[in-house]
Chains A and B, each alone.
Chain A
Amino acid sequence: MNGQEALRDALDRCRRENDALRTEVTHARTLLDALASLLLIDTREDPFFHVFESLHAVFGFEHAAAYTEQDPANLVCVAASLKDNVGSRWNAKTFLNRVLGGRVSATFDTKSIEEYQDLSQSVPRDRPALFIPLRVAGKRGLLALIKPAGAPGFDRKDVELAKRFSLLASHAMAACDNRRRLEENEVRAEAAEESNRAKSEFLASMSHELRTPLNAILGFSEIIAQECFGPVGSQRYKEYAGDIHASGAHLLSLINDVLDVGKIEAGKMEVAPAMLDAGSVFGSALKLIGTRAREKNQELTVCVQPDAPPLYADERALKQILVNLVSNAVKYTPPGGTITVSGRAGPDGAFLIVCTDNGPGIPPDKLARLFKPFSQVDNRFNRSEGGTGLGLSLVRGLTELHGGRAWLESEVGRGSSAYVLLPGAPTDLSQRAG
């Protein structure tokens, strides 16, 4: 071989080597592109379609199937080029368990593999196959690529490429699955929000429609009870009219609460804070409840401590807060108990309202849900004490509209304390009030 021949030979070798490397790079790029596309596809599409397509370009199989492990060793076909195989089951034994455990395996003689004996007749046998482990939606799984009968088998290069693919594909499938779940969650959250808004609007609308006839019931029952146009004839009718009025008044109060909760949830409730005289607001708000407390022989103490900062709140909302807090305390504190309502200094110039009773207390696991609408400690209280469970929900909603915070502390057998922290007044108003 002379120098020229040797050079030509070397160039030929380089060219062929280059071609071989280019093929390898093309295969690797095809697989990487396919995996990257999994991160971008419409999540309603079948990701395996993309996986199979790219694998086919590289490995040239005839059939492909993807299996995931439903129960230990129980595989279910989740995607397949032969659609009839989807849903079919395959019991993993020695061979498939190794693949599920992470081993890429090329088989040249499936007759000898125990698991193949269990397969349905529609699954091609006696053909070279490549098994690639894959994690799908958090489950162990595998891809099976099957070549046509008589085709050259998969070799170690295929196995090495499949090993790398397996690792990356599992990550890509996980990312695809996470994206799909995220999108589903977003859709669910939007639906839930829409449903909640519709509910609030319905409640607000219904409450309004209920109040109109109720006003007539309240007005006419009061006229009858007070015999404005002359005696009703029987004392019993007069008492019944009084009962109708009292029940109507209760119903109106409930409807008002429902309306307010609905407004808060729909974001339609607005508050107009102003500088208030705490002692005066506390006194007028709790006047009516004081009567109920006295009826139960309860000791109700109301005080605004000298160090309490100026109170900056919406008067109507604050009265609702106080009435609901103290009504609850009166309702659940046994006869003869004590209830204290105080206004005092909170952190950073905030005004803290504390309503403390020596009632039965609330178990810790029930505390958190009491601020949710229609929640009460338990049905036993529902039955014995009545109510809708809207009171504390309103308290929290109204407090939060002020930018404040409401919470409960309780100890079973010793009583409960409800706290409402209202932010301090803006500096200029606060100085004027001071």
Chain B
Amino acid sequence: MLSIHTFAAAGADTDAVLEDIGRQIAESGAAPHFVINFFGCDHDAEKIRVFLGNRCPNAVFIGGTSNTGLMTDRALWEKDAIGVFAVEDADGQYGVAIDSIGDDPAATAEKALRVALENATCPGELPSMVFVYQAPGGEEEVLDGIRKVVGEGCPILGGSAADNDTSGRWRQISNAATTKNGLAIAVLFPSGEVSTAFQGGFEPAGPNGIVTRVVPDRFGKNRGHEVAEIDGRPAALVYDEWSNNMLGEKAATGGNVFEETSAHPFGVEAGDIDGVTNFILVHPVKATPEGGMITFAAIEQGARIHIMRGNRKRLAQRAGNVAAGAAERLPAGAKSLAGALLVFCAGCKRAIGDRMPEVARDVTANLGNRPFLCCFTFGEQGHISGKNAHGNLMIAAAAFGT
């Protein structure tokens, strides 16, 4: 029978934090088979990798850095925390792989997925879920690579590893290695059920337009991470008008707009997915001097783009609702919930600000005090109405049934 434990501790000294976590694991008597691990970017990833290998010898593990802390069923942790989500499941199969993303993220993802399936002793089989944790950038291509192997019918959940200040100190971790610009991937064949949920907590504010030009980047001709024009005009100017001049001077001069746009991301219509129209949120993080807007997620040229709105209260409640939604989707219902994993957008966390402790309490209550671990990321992947997608300012949740 599948069971889940979470362990966490915080502090500047990596060794001391790991010692604390080691003590917690020993006291729990847990002997996990699969581990997901998140940690602050100031910690030494290699030390954590070695620690997990020694402390959980029967487990495959995967994880990476989380923005300014993490969240568990016990607390909202500060930026120097390390958290462990440990799954005990002798009858399940789990496999992991890690690699540098390189120039062809789709090919890397495809290869890593096949290695992970082999590692799980389940080559050729459709997993219950794929979990990815990667360096920011190329998320859509990574999804494409995974789709090429398992199609669209397998839920993919994950996030883009985040540091505390977008300076590039993110890391990914697995049994075999730690990477800076890598992709860690896990395939899950748990003995219990898994269900997922993926949502943004924003609604269209009204103004919208067509993306008439993107700056193509290495990931595609007609899509890119810089929206140059909306309806034929500089994107930053259009956004500034839609948002009642939230960018101010930066609309003309350019600059970091990560915080200004957190409460008003772009929303791209995700199309018809099993009868439900969904918006994938795209977080603009920088304005360019040329009037373009650089986003965490790629946008297709020709897409209809909206400015979205949300309020702090609604954002604060969303994580609990998403977690509860995933748990309720378990075939045996939320009563069969063993624990949950959440991927929460760092931008949302920032927008919610000092109400985050309230979020932690709300998620805990919505999951019936079952163990959970939540990381804060620079991009989220989830399964939305039958399709896998990458978005920003989203919350993804996976509920594990016993």
The interface stretch among A153-161, A203-211, A302-310, A412-420 is A153-161
Select from chain A the residue with minimum beta-carbon distance to B117.
Answer: A112
In the bound complex, do residue A109 and residue B275 qualify as a contact, i.e. CB atoms below 8 Å apart? Answer: no
The answer, yes or no, to whether B121 is at the interface (CB within 8 Å) is: yes
The answer, yes or no, to whether B204 is at the interface (CB within 8 Å) is: yes
In the bound complex, do residue B275 and residue A157 qualify as a contact, i.e. CB atoms below 8 Å apart? Answer: no
In the bound complex, do residue B154 and residue A160 qualify as a contact, i.e. CB atoms below 8 Å apart? Answer: no
Residues 270-290 of B contacting A (Cβ, < 8 Å): 272, 274-277
Asked, given contacts A94-B121, A155-B154, whether A19 binds B275 with beta carbons under 8 Å apart, the answer is: yes
Select from chain A the residue with minimum beta-carbon distance to B207.
Answer: A1
The answer, yes or no, to whether B231 is at the interface (CB within 8 Å) is: no
Q: How far does the alpha carbon of A163 sit from the alpha carbon of B330 in the complex, in Å? A: 13
The answer, yes or no, to whether B125 is at the interface (CB within 8 Å) is: yes
Q: How far does the alpha carbon of A1 sit from the alpha carbon of B205 in the complex, in Å? A: 10
Q: Which residues of B contact A107 (CB under 8 A)?
A: 124-126
In the bound complex, do residue B126 and residue A1 qualify as a contact, i.e. CB atoms below 8 Å apart? Answer: no
Q: Which of B126, B149, B208 contacts A156 (CB under 8 A)?
A: B126
In the bound complex, do residue A16 and residue B151 qualify as a contact, i.e. CB atoms below 8 Å apart? Answer: no
Select from chain B the residue with minimum beta-carbon distance to A155.
Answer: B153
Q: How far does the alpha carbon of A94 sit from the alpha carbon of B274 in the complex, in Å? A: 35
Q: Which residues of B contact A163 (CB under 8 A)?
A: 331
The answer, yes or no, to whether B224 is at the interface (CB within 8 Å) is: no
In the bound complex, do residue B331 and residue A160 qualify as a contact, i.e. CB atoms below 8 Å apart? Answer: yes
Q: From DSSP, what is the main secondary structure of chain A's interface residues?
A: helix
In the bound complex, do residue B126 and residue A95 qualify as a contact, i.e. CB atoms below 8 Å apart? Answer: no
Asked, given contacts A1-B204, A9-B277, A13-B277, whether A158 binds B153 with beta carbons under 8 Å apart, the answer is: yes
The answer, yes or no, to whether A250 is at the interface (CB within 8 Å) is: no
Q: How far does the alpha carbon of A110 sit from the alpha carbon of B272 in the complex, in Å? A: 32
In the bound complex, do residue B274 and residue A17 qualify as a contact, i.e. CB atoms below 8 Å apart? Answer: yes
The answer, yes or no, to whether B303 is at the interface (CB within 8 Å) is: no
Select from chain B the residue with minimum beta-carbon distance to A99.
Answer: B125
In the bound complex, do residue B125 and residue A154 qualify as a contact, i.e. CB atoms below 8 Å apart? Answer: no
The answer, yes or no, to whether B128 is at the interface (CB within 8 Å) is: yes
The answer, yes or no, to whether A120 is at the interface (CB within 8 Å) is: no
The answer, yes or no, to whether B259 is at the interface (CB within 8 Å) is: no
Q: Which of A109, A156, A157, A164 contacts B124 (CB under 8 A)?
A: A109
Residues 251-303 of B contacting A (Cβ, < 8 Å): 272, 274-277
Q: Which residues of A contact B126 (CB under 8 A)?
A: 105-108, 153-156, 159
In the bound complex, do residue B276 and residue A108 qualify as a contact, i.e. CB atoms below 8 Å apart? Answer: no
Q: Which residues of A contact B151 (CB under 8 A)?
A: 108, 152-153, 155
The answer, yes or no, to whether B42 is at the interface (CB within 8 Å) is: no
Q: How far does the alpha carbon of A1 sit from the alpha carbon of B279 in the complex, in Å? A: 14
Asked, given contacts A13-B276, A16-B275, A20-B274, whether A156 binds B153 with beta carbons under 8 Å apart, the answer is: yes
Q: Which of B124, B189, B272, B276 has the most CB of A within 10 A?
A: B124
Q: Which of A1, A13, A19 contacts B208 (CB under 8 A)?
A: A1
In the bound complex, do residue B123 and residue A154 qualify as a contact, i.e. CB atoms below 8 Å apart? Answer: no
Q: Which residues of B contact A103 (CB under 8 A)?
A: 189
Select from chain B the residue with minimum beta-carbon distance to A101.
Answer: B91
Select from chain A the residue with minimum beta-carbon distance to B277.
Answer: A13
In the bound complex, do residue A153 and residue B153 qualify as a contact, i.e. CB atoms below 8 Å apart? Answer: yes
The answer, yes or no, to whether A268 is at the interface (CB within 8 Å) is: no
The answer, yes or no, to whether B152 is at the interface (CB within 8 Å) is: yes
Q: How far does the alpha carbon of A9 sit from the alpha carbon of B122 in the complex, in Å? A: 42
The answer, yes or no, to whether B107 is at the interface (CB within 8 Å) is: no
How many whole Å from B391's CB to the nearest CB in chain A? Answer: 19
Q: Which residues of B contact A16 (CB under 8 A)?
A: 272, 274-276
Q: How far does the alpha carbon of A155 sit from the alpha carbon of B274 in the complex, in Å? A: 14
Q: How far does the alpha carbon of A95 sit from the alpha carbon of B124 in the complex, in Å? A: 10
Q: Which of B118, B121, B275 has the most CB of A within 10 A?
A: B275
Q: Which residues of A contact B277 (CB under 8 A)?
A: 9, 13
The answer, yes or no, to whether B150 is at the interface (CB within 8 Å) is: yes
The answer, yes or no, to whether B63 is at the interface (CB within 8 Å) is: no
Q: How far does the alpha carbon of A15 sit from the alpha carbon of B272 in the complex, in Å? A: 12
The answer, yes or no, to whether A111 is at the interface (CB within 8 Å) is: yes
Residues 153-193 of A contacting B (Cβ, < 8 Å): 153-160, 163-164
Q: Which of A109, A156, A160 has the most CB of B within 10 A?
A: A156
How many whole Å from A301's CB to the nearest CB in chain B? Answer: 73
The answer, yes or no, to whether B155 is at the interface (CB within 8 Å) is: yes
Q: Which residues of B contact A1 (CB under 8 A)?
A: 204, 206, 208
How many whole Å from B41's CB to the nearest CB in chain A? Answer: 34
Asked, given contacts A1-B208, A106-B126, A113-B123, whether A17 binds B275 with beta carbons under 8 Å apart, the answer is: yes
Q: Which residues of B contact A20 (CB under 8 A)?
A: 274-275
- The 27 listed contacts between A and B (C-beta, < 8 Å) are A1-B208, A9-B277, A13-B275, A14-B275, A17-B275, A17-B276, A19-B275, A95-B122, A98-B93, A105-B126, A108-B149, A109-B123, A109-B124, A109-B149, A110-B124, A111-B124, A112-B117, A112-B123, A112-B124, A113-B124, A113-B125, A154-B126, A155-B152, A156-B154, A156-B155, A158-B153, A164-B331
| The 10 nearest A-B residue pairs measured at CB | A155-B153, A16-B275, A112-B123, A17-B275, A112-B124, A109-B124, A106-B126, A113-B124, A20-B274, A107-B124
A153-B151, A155-B151 given. 18 additional CB < 8 A pairs? A1-B204, A13-B276, A15-B275, A16-B272, A94-B121, A105-B125, A105-B126, A106-B153, A108-B149, A108-B151, A109-B123, A110-B124, A112-B118, A113-B123, A153-B126, A157-B386, A160-B331, A164-B331
